[in-house]
Amino acid sequence: MRVLVTGGAGFIGHEVIRTILRQTDWDVISLDRLDSSGTLDRLAEILNEQEEWRSRLHVIWHDLKAPINDHVASRIGKVNLILHLAASSHVDRSLADPVSFVMDNVLGTVNILEFSRHCMQHFLKMFIFFGTDEVFGPAKREVFYREDDRFNCTNPYSATKAGGEVLAKAFHLSYGLPVVVTHTMNVFGKRQHPEKFIPRIIRNVLNGETVPIHADPTCTMPGSRFYILASDVAEALLFLVEHANLGEAYNIVGSEELDNLEVAKVVADSVGKELVFKLVDYHSSRPGHDLRYALSGEKLAKMGWQAHGPVKTQIRDVVRWTLANNRWLY
């Protein structure tokens, strides 16, 4: 088996590659443009775990805003599985620069789909489009969106991810491309980009700075998410390679829901310093930030896969690792 991982030098991508190298004998090709969120340092660190992995991982630079040309295609070679994780993924940046998100998440997706359609027709067994819970928009209490519920995008990031997902499904229906779609909730773990929530909390707590917590308009109810460890996401993707039905979507959901203040308190306790925080109504000041996202994980659970837990223990472990490897905080 030969696997192409787009965005392989990213936070989730490198953990997916690590899991593949650790749990299979597959060869992996990482395709990445190495922008602000992707760095070869992640891949270098995982390759240091086992020397034999070096011969199984091949790294190629390419920006998917451009079609995959013959030279890049020849370097990729024939692959049996494509995991399309490359994307711009930060809501704040999508609000400031929506056009770049269209280019990365819509145009980039259609370019990898076109490559798959023309170059991999007789080799490709599965194309997994890595989607997000945010396409469904905010969820009221007791609401858990299922895989085929209607989209309700509230910011440019989620809208462009919805565009990529719809294109992937259209390529399945129009050309028979073996597409599977996932929706994943808030992912955390080792080597996460410092702009993300948990690394930011660690940095703020270490510096004695106030941690802003996304809350409702009354500033009494913190936002909440089903946080999930990156290694759990990677294992879910491998599970889907074996068990997914082509053309279907699957929610990859954390084992428990935590509000953002709970997460901040766990992080501060793990750092060993007091949490100084302020509940802030982000949505009123910056439209596009949603209070609660929630997905139903029932479909995958019935198939035999569920995320590990408890999440608070996993967060503590990640904080301890990050403190010991604090170069990833900056």
Active-site annotation, residues: 133-134, 157
Of the candidates 90, 276, 302, the residue with the CA atom closest to the CA atom of residue 186: 90
Q: Is 23 left (phi over 0), alpha (psi -120 to 50) or beta?
A: alpha
Contact 113, 86 (CB under 8 A): no
CA distances from 190 to 16, 42, 277, 323 (A): 12, 9, 24, 11
CA 272 to chain centre: 29
- For residue 286, give the nearest of 88, 134, 96, 141 by alpha carbon: 96
Q: How many residues does the chain have?
A: 330
Token pair for residue 214?
């996304």
